[in-house]
Structure 1
Amino acid sequence: MKSREPVPASRWYSTAFRVRYQETDQMGVVYHANYLSWFESGRTEMFRGLGFAYRSLEDMGVMLPVTAADLQFKSPARYDDLIAVYARLSVFSPLRVVYEYEIRRLADLTGSGAGYSSGPGATSVPADTPLAGELLVSGSTSHVWLNKDWKPVRLDRALPELYNAITGALREEGGT
């Protein structure tokens, strides 16, 4: 995998939940900053779906802070909506990671449709499968690999076993 090469059409990982009242504002819609928290939930569960826990990264001495965030709002989410957060990698390199997201309202309350999971963890959805639900927000976050001293590190040199495991998981799931 080349250093700045995008990940070809990797599969989506989704996690679903209901919008809580505390996440809405006076206008009755989800407050815009909450979508960033939902992005975090999506990427955390996606990483877990690849077989890793974010917490284990810190235990291994690396961190992956957000360096940029981009959101496009299409339609608001409201209290008690059933929401799916879809996340996937669009760039993975020894130096940085870029996640892509879609937040969708699920109309089917029975739980059917691509990528719906009512329990903890992420459901994997093939890249070429249409995603369930109405698109509400799309976006991305960029991250860099840092050590505990907040210095940039190359993951392939700092933790080659982790780098190889992630690239291997991406290959298995068809993302590289």
Structure 2
Amino acid sequence: MIISEKKIEVRYAETDQMGVVHHSNYIVWMELGRTQLIKDLGFSYAEMEKSGILAPVLDVQVSYKKPLTYGENAIIKTWIDSYDGFKVIYGYSILNENGEQSVTGFTSHVCVRKEDFRPIRLKKMFPDWHEAYEKAKKKQQPEGD
């Protein structure tokens, strides 16, 4: 499994009245992590979109563990949790600079044609991406382990 890392500094504008990162920013950071993972695999969301394909979010799941505050650094770890050739689920762990987990989460996506939002199979339109995702995804543990 390939795990991508993206480090960001928490900005003041991302915090709320309590001085902690507002919960909505973690979803934005997940996007940064996802984009970094795709870049690390040698691809580009922007190039995919230029070819008329989008990858909308179908579902988001976020669990908040420990707040981050202004001036801290966040490390976004991103991986492909599952991929079946059609739908991809990205996993995320956002850590503080001490390695303590602040957030865990998942987003699920499918690729669609821009003009009609009809789903496409990545394997057919982007065989290189498909192969890279197959190699990068989380290895499933056999039952009983």
TM-score interval (norm. to shorter): 0.7 to 0.9
Q: TM-score, normalised on structure 2?
A: 0.88
How many residue pairs get matched?
138
TM-score computed with the length of structure 1 as normaliser: 0.73
- 2:86 counterpart residue number: 95
Instruction: Measure the CA separation in 2 of the matches of 1:52 and 1:82.
Output: 26
Residues 1:134 and 2:125 aligned together? no
Residue identity in the other structure for 2:119: P
Determine whether 1:77 maps to 2:68. yes
Return the offset for 1:175.
5.5
Residue 110 of structure 2 corresponds to which residue in structure 1?
144
Moved more, 154-163 or 11-20: 154-163
More helix per residue: 2
> Which residue identity lines up with residue 108 of structure 2 in the other structure?
S
Out of 115, 121, 135, the residue aligned to residue 154 of structure 1 is 121
SS of alignment partner, residue 37 of structure 1: helix
Say if 2:95 and 2:103, in contact at 8 Å, map to a contact too: yes
Which segment is superposed worse, 63-72 or 145-154?
145-154
Q: 1:24 — aligned with what? A: 15
- Name the amino acid aligned to 1:163: H
Identity in percent = 35
2:143 alignment partner in structure 1: none
Show CA shifts across 1:33-90 (max 9, x none). 0000000000000100000011111122211110000001111010011110000001
Counterpart residue number, 1:117: none
Gaps of 5+ in 1: 1-9, 108-132
> Match of 2:3?
12
CA 1:106–1:153: 2 relative to 1, 3 Å: same
Structure 1 residues 67 and 174: CA distance shift in structure 2, 3 A: closer
Task: Find runs of 4+ consecutive structure 1 residues off by over 6 angstroms.
Answer: none
Paired residue secondary structure (1:33): helix
> Comparing both chains, which one has the higher relative contact order based on Cα–Cα distances under 8 Å and sequence gaps of 6 or more?
1
| Structure 2 unmatched runs, 5+ | 140-145
